[in-house]
Amino acid sequence: MLAREPLWYTVSPRVTPATEPPRVVIEDVAPVVDGGRHPIKLSWGSTLEVSANVFRDGHDLVAARVIFLPPGEPQWGAAPLTYHVDPDRWHGSFHVGKLGRWNYGIEAWPDHFGTWRGELEKRIRAGQDVRSELLVGALLLERYAALLRGDVAKRVRAVAGLLTNTSAPLDDRLKAALEEGLAAEVYGPLESAELTRSPLYELIVDRAEATFAAWYELFPRSQGQPGKHGTFADTGRLLPEISALGFDVVYLPPIHPIGETHRKGRNNSPKAAPGDVGSPWGIGSSAGGHTAVHPELGTLADFDELVRSARDLGLEIALDIAFQCSPDHPWVKEHPDWFFVRPDGTIRYAENPPKKYEDIYPLNFWCKDRQAMWNACRDVFVFWAQHGVRTFRVDNPHTKPFAFWEWVLREVQTRYPDTVFLSESFTRPNRMNALAKLGFNQSYTYFTWKNWAGELRDYFRELTSRPSTLYYRPNCFTNTPDILHEYLQHSGRPGFRVRLLLAATLSPVYGIYSGFELCEGTPVRPGSEEYIDSEKYQLVHRDLNAPGNIKQDVARLNRIRRENPALQTLPNLEFVNTDYDGILAYRRFAPNNEILVVVNLDPHRMHETQVDVPLDRMGISEGEPYEVADLLSGARYTWRGRRNYVKLDPTERVGHVFRVSRRA
């Protein structure tokens, strides 16, 4: 039985509390998501801080612990809970040092020994005769000793014997009864009927890259010489530069064979001209489907070499997985029942009026053969994981069943617990939150549409507050092949620098799509967020060293992020008041690392303001001089007091990233 286990380090998962009325009440366990329906998330090496209301009737004391089961382990661990101010609110923690899905819960029981010892101390302070109380304690210790093993049982019995030894000095007997080590050795319930256990909750522990990373998106087919289709080898030659810019993840849109039937032409023309390369999201041809590579990119062996080359440079390759098929995909011929079949026998293509996607057949995830189809989709992830891919950007997951994602994410991460899934979902908040709760490790955000101070503050306060931080990890892309926001279309080079600075310092995870560093901002037409000559439908050759690029900004910000722990976590964001709302200021903080970011959100005009520095929360006295070092420019200033002047001309400098420190 659980109470017989020594100390609290090997709680048996087979023991359950008795089904009798509970002796102790456990309520309001935290942290949990939706009452425990969904897992919370942490990164490897973190500590989970837990708490709960624990109490019982009467005046007797209670004891409690948090129990936890790492993935794949046969036995539970445990750590004690204690209270600080409120005797009914108990707190504890445990370290998470293994990737995967953990379980945890709270156990509590009547603390017989603690109650006895507390009464003994009161009687001693009152000057009462406690010799009979020592005999009561001895009987209690004998009961505990019967549950224990080995040397622990021997020590407890020895103390029980001393308490009954009336010839021993009373002071020695009292000292043994009150010794702290004794309380630790008899920590636990006396019988299973006394044990109350909360429901068990789930915790996903991810590797660090799930919570801190910089992403760079590129199309491999555009990496060749002008006019020529690029290959994996061409992409590999670009990796050293991407690594030098400080990125961690290189994200590739679908690399699979592209269908010929209804292939899209340049600028999304419904008809492809000879030589048009089509959309990579029109997946599948006679060359294969989701587990094949486009022949013009190279072979599967070439892809494996790209993954190895990236790894050697400290990069990882992320793949786009889009569960949809071109009319030429092998699944269409082999499993036509996996799709939406009209009464006339034709298969329905994807449509989002007024947009039509004639080159795409959506999968029917609720078809009669759904088990085989779901397994096939799972096996796509497993296939690429076997080829070294551990990060997947999933296209439009909100258009597929939530039940599928809950199942498939667990299936894949059970085999490969270091896998990171990014949800590319731009939809209503509840849907985006639901996907994160179901297990997606990262999520796209509305960041691209939040450009002014009020909306940025409101949105990031939501993202950095509970309950969002328990399950939602925002990946703030500045742009995507689908999204060129109006702000970037009209702001010129300063606007791109503003958005880069915001993305890199507001979120620990951010990304840019290739061309952002060249300040590409021309839409296909006024009022559209689509790029002109979109790379989704054609090859785009870029000179990444073209005049006016902001690569230096990118490299510097990525270096600053790596060197400052305050920029590597999510919840530590505090917005700071400024006199002018067009200048946004915020604090990011970690032990011995105070960062203050000030950004001029207007890319066209110079603005100035007073910034209210939260000195009290930085540990700086009101009259004390302190240093602010601008990590972007290298300049250093001595400030004094809470209010300080800042002037930002976007033609020269769009913002500051100050490291704040007390003067030596």
Catalytic machinery residues: 395, 424
Question: Would you say 210 and 473 are in contact if contact means Cβ atoms under 8 Å apart?
Answer: yes
> Is residue 634 packed enough to be buried (19+ CB in 10 Å), middle (13-18) or exposed (0-12)?
exposed
Q: How many CB atoms lie within 10 A of CB 270?
A: 11
* Residue 283, strand partner residues: 258
Q: Can you spell out the DSSP letters for 387-428?
A: TT--EEEEE-GGGS-HHHHHHHHHHHHHH-TT-EEEEE--S-
Residues 6+ apart with CB under 8 A from 29: 36, 50, 51, 52, 105, 106, 198, 199, 201
Question: Would you say 54 and 25 are in contact if contact means Cβ atoms under 8 Å apart?
Answer: yes
Element (H, E) at 373: helix 370-386
Question: Rounded to whole angstroms, what are the CA distances from 619 to 193, 427, 642?
Answer: 50, 42, 12
Question: Would you say 238 and 230 are in contact if contact means Cβ atoms under 8 Å apart?
Answer: no
Q: How many CB atoms lie within 10 A of CB 472?
A: 23
**Which tokens is 191 given?**
């019988």
d(CA 601, CA 464): 21
Q: Is the dihedral of CA 586, 590, 594, 595 positive or negative?
A: negative
* DSSP conformation class of 447: G
Question: Would you say 57 and 23 are in contact if contact means Cβ atoms under 8 Å apart?
Answer: no
**Which tokens is 339 given?**
């799709």
> Is residue 159 packed enough to be buried (19+ CB in 10 Å), middle (13-18) or exposed (0-12)?
buried
> What are residue 320's phi and psi, to 5 degrees?
-85, 125
Total number of residues shown for the chain: 664
Question: Rounded to whole angstroms, what are the CA distances from 604 to 172, 448, 489, 500, 611?
Answer: 81, 19, 13, 16, 21
**Which tokens is 393 given?**
């950007």
Residues 6+ apart with CB under 8 A from 569: 211, 212, 508, 590
* Residue 533, strand partner residues: none
CA angle 421, 239, 474 (to 5 degrees): 30
Element (H, E) at 290: none
